[in-house]
């Protein structure tokens, strides 16, 4: 039995400041461009203002990409186009600058942090700052066994909490959150199907490298079998992550919840982060108010999860590569919304009406004088 009480997050997480948001909306109504003419950028700027608790909104100056990494035993069933146990190669490629997220991060001048939670490799082959939070080597094959023990799930969750605290304490003002995994989208599909009460076929996508039809059928069967194991533990989110999640998914969930506690805005990347966000929403219903959905990857599980949380993606480019790449594409929009909200000038105040002139009679004299003149004429 875990000693971690996730219910505490319900009390710790507050919504972004509603009063500040109303002030931001009022300021937007006074700006030279009519409200609504910038489309969703208006809402985005007001959301960011409420998250920061500041009017006008401050620029996003210190964003960071945070990626949690892990291998999943379910990949042994050939449900992914990447080889089972191959996530460490992806991590090294990111560190060496050869992945899409690396290129985009250089272009946007955003640092990338990778946190190894369950890579299937010798931790000594990775930089110490990457491997420092590892819980285990690989996660279990969720169709026939638990991904983690409950103690491992708790350790992974708390690692995510610790990373969120580190980012908040270091001055990070927005996080683009993603994963680096092989088999992670299968585990994510199980979580989404379980929490949304739907079948495996509804949430099974083709992953980052577009698996063929046979691989899709194997993936669908794996999610179906894992769902049987997930449904009995739906009421306990930590046990759910231990049963059919994985160390990286447990850490992502902890990170999302603690970021909401610390009032640190988060941009969600793909289906894996969406699935973890759905778990986190079950823990604390206010938490999604601190998150943005970056893009629609085309993964059905992601669409299902975002719809359940009422999060509308900012972009729709069909980017399925994961690793935070789609999340980074949304960052210029966030920055643009902040700049427009802060820098567009306000209209001058309306001219004050002139003092009312005294009433005048027909010949141009005041009303009182006119009455006196009329009285004399009568006499």
Query: Which residues are known to be catalytic?
Result: 323
Quick one: which of 261, 307, 306, 266 has its CA closest to 283? Answer: 261
| 31 SS3 class | strand
353 CB burial (10 A radius; 0-12, 13-18, 19+): exposed
Pull the structure tokens for residue 342: 């802060």
What does the buried/exposed string (b/e) look like for 336-349 if buried means 16 or more CB atoms within 10 Å of the residue's CB?
A: ebbebbbebeeeee
123 CB burial (10 A radius; 0-12, 13-18, 19+): middle
Token output for 281:
């929403």
Alpha carbon of 106 to those of 151, 300, 313, 325, 363: distances in Å? 38, 30, 24, 12, 80
DSSP state of 33: S
In the chain, the N- to C-terminal Cα span, in Å, equals 107
- The C-alpha angle 95, 99, 105, rounded to 5 degrees, equals 75
Look-up: residue for tokens 């009329």?
374
């Amino acid at each position: 039995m875990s000693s971690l009480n996730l219910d505490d997050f319900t009390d710790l997480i507050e919504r972004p400041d509603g009063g500040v948001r109303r002030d931001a909306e009022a300021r937007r109504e006074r700006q030279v461009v009519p409200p609504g003419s910038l489309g969703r950028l208006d809402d985005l700027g007001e959301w960011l203002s409420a998250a920061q608790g500041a009017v006008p909104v401050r620029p996003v100056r210190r964003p960071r990409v945070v990626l949690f990494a892990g291998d999943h035993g379910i990949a042994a069933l050939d449900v992914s186009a990447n080889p089972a146990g191959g996530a460490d190669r992806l991590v090294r490629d990111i560190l060496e600058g050869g992945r899409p997220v690396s290129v985009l991060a250089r272009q946007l001048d955003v640092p990338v942090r990778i946190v190894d939670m369950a890579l299937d490799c010798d931790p000594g082959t990775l930089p110490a700052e990457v491997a420092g939070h590892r819980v285990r080597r690989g996660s279990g094959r969720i169709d026939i066994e638990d991904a983690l023990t409950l103690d491992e799930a708790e350790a992974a969750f708390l690692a995510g909490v610790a990373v969120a605290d580190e980012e908040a304490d270091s001055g990070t003002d927005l996080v683009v959150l993603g994963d680096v995994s092989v088999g992670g989208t299968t585990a994510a599909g199980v979580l989404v199907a379980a929490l949304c009460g739907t079948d495996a076929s509804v949430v099974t996508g083709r992953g980052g490298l577009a698996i063929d039809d046979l691989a899709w059928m194997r993936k669908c069967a794996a999610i179906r079998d894992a769902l049987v194991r997930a449904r009995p533990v739906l009421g306990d989110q930590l046990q759910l992550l231990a049963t059919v999640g994985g160390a990286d998914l447990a850490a992502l969930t902890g990170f999302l919840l603690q970021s909401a506690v610390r009032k640190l805005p988060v941009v969600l990347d793909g289906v894996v982060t969406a699935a973890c966000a759905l778990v986190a929403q079950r823990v604390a219903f206010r938490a999604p108010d601190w998150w943005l959905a970056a893009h629609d990857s085309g993964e059905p599980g992601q669409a299902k999860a975002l719809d359940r949380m009422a999060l509308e993606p900012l972009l729709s480019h069909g980017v399925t590569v994961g690793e935070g790449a789609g999340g980074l594409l949304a960052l210029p929009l966030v920055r643009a919304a902040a700049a427009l909200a802060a820098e567009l000038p306000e209209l001058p105040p309306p001219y004050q009406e002139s003092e009312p002139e005294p009433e005048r009679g027909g010949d141009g004299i005041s009303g009182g004088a006119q009455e006196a003149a009329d009285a004399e004429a009568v006499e």
